[in-house]
Chains A and B, each alone.
Chain A
Amino acid sequence: MEPEQPLHTEAMLLPEYVNRTLSSEEEQQVASHLQTCVTCQQELQEVTNMQAAIKHTIAQRPGPSPAAFSTLMRRIEQEKQTQGEKNTQPTTSSWWETVESAFRSLFEIQWVPALASVLIVGQAFLLLSLIGTPEGQQGQGSGTIYERGIPQGTPATPSLKIEVQFVETAQERPIRGLVRDLGGRIIDGPTEDGRYTLGFPISPGLSSDSILTMLGKHPELVQKAQLLGP
């Protein structure tokens, strides 16, 4: 239901008139009006009574619990700590700090994988180099080459490739000694049937035939050897 419109504009000022918050001019205007308007006099009485009832009603309500203040102080302390942390951080930076920060970011996370990759490749290269070192510096194996396999190397220069099948009972140490004495490296193998590929650098004094001949002189180690080609 639409509320009734007030008959007089002064009626809308009556709460302020009761509160004594009108300007002196408005207060005078309302007071003059009230002297002659019975309706607004009744309205004034209602406003006065209603205000008393409302004040009495709200004043009976309990206040907040003491815990509210404790909560407030705890949150203020948290705010102080947060503000303190913010204040310790620099708010402005020089152009040099900006440039340094920009460069520093280049070497942060995104470079870590690249650096790790370089280190891994370096380590692999080092390990492969060690494979080619004299046998005295290698671990001394005791099993057959088929049981343990043989570390392989990669020839650095163009080479002759010879496929060799070693005797099943041959030991790693004498095999390495033979390959080293011939100036070669194991570059692949073993295959499923136990064959290895040896690499020999091409040089004027070394041919595939001479290598095959020398391999053939060690039947206790070499079961079969054949040229694969350069």
Chain B
Amino acid sequence: MNATHWQDVTDLDLLKACLPDNQQAFEALYQRYEKRVFHYLMTVVNDATLAEEILVDVMLAVWKGLTTFQGQSKVSTWIFGIAHHKAVDGLRKVTSQQRGGIPIDDIVESPDPKDGPFEETNKNRLAELTNQAMMNLSADHREIVHMAFYEGQSYPEISELLGIPVNTVKTRVYYAKQQLKKTLQHHGVKEDIL
């Protein structure tokens, strides 16, 4: 089976196809998740080198766990659960200074009034501000925003992979979103854009 064929295979079937030692299938699984997991890790640890190191650790753990995966949760939940634990370990390694983030006022340029109203800001500018505002959140809030808004995972899935109650997921998502909104508004992003 070539790489193209794996595209139509479900996560669970692809996982099963990796056994007993199918390197092609495992490579397809890696390709399916490398960007998603890497982006998630970037959101949490905010360091490309560290994120890449953790990505390798995560996929190695996935490879080791192929025979023990019970299928009780979705494959993506399982993999992101591993990524969460590895990311927490990775965060412990970095200094508190790195972990604390950078004050948003230090990294976001306020719009120059001569540039006109902020609605003229293009999507990339908004993306830049959004990224910086996200990085100013706590690691817990960055992580949950990523899961809920980017990955589009359900609260029960997030609850499972983070090991926290569903109600905590609800409130954490809500407060993280409110914090993002305030930060962006502070830097001139109008409510109708948000």
Contacts and interface: CB of A to CB of B under 8 A. Distances in A.
A62 B35 CA distance: 8
Interface residues of A, number: 37
B30 A72 contact: yes
A4 B178 contact: yes
B101 to A, nearest CB: 16
B52 A68 contact: yes
Contacts of B155: 16, 21
A60 B134 CA distance: 14
A49 B148 contact: no
Interface in A148-182: none
B127 A64 contact: no
A31 interface: no
Q: Is the interface of A mostly helix, strand, loop or mixed?
A: helix
A187 interface: no
B194 A54 contact: no
A93 interface: no
Contact of B38 (A12, A15, A63): A63
A216 B180 CA distance: 119
Nearest to B59: A72
Contacts of A51: 149-150
A68 B149 contact: no
Interface residues of B, number: 49
Interface in B109-168: 123-124, 126-128, 130-131, 134, 145-146, 148-150, 152-155, 157
A3 B179 contact: yes
Looking at chain B's contact residues, is the secondary structure mostly helix, strand, loop, or mixed? helix
B42 A12 contact: no
B127 A68 contact: no
B99 interface: no
Contacts of B152: 19, 21
Contacts, number: 109
B150 A54 contact: yes
B175 interface: yes
B149 A15 contact: yes
B18 to A, nearest CB: 11
B34 A61 contact: no
Contacts of B48: 62
A53 B178 CA distance: 14
A56 B123 contact: yes
Contacts of B145: 54
B173 A68 contact: no
Nearest to A51: B149
Interface string B175-187: 1011111000000
Contacts of B127: 53, 56-57, 60
B126 A53 contact: yes
Contacts of B191: 46
B68 to A, nearest CB: 14
| Shortest beta-carbon contacts, A-B, top 3 | A21-B154, A57-B127, A19-B152
20 contacts: A4-B178, A16-B155, A19-B154, A22-B154, A46-B191, A49-B194, A50-B130, A50-B181, A51-B149, A53-B127, A54-B134, A56-B126, A57-B130, A58-B39, A64-B35, A68-B38, A69-B34, A76-B60, A76-B63, A79-B64
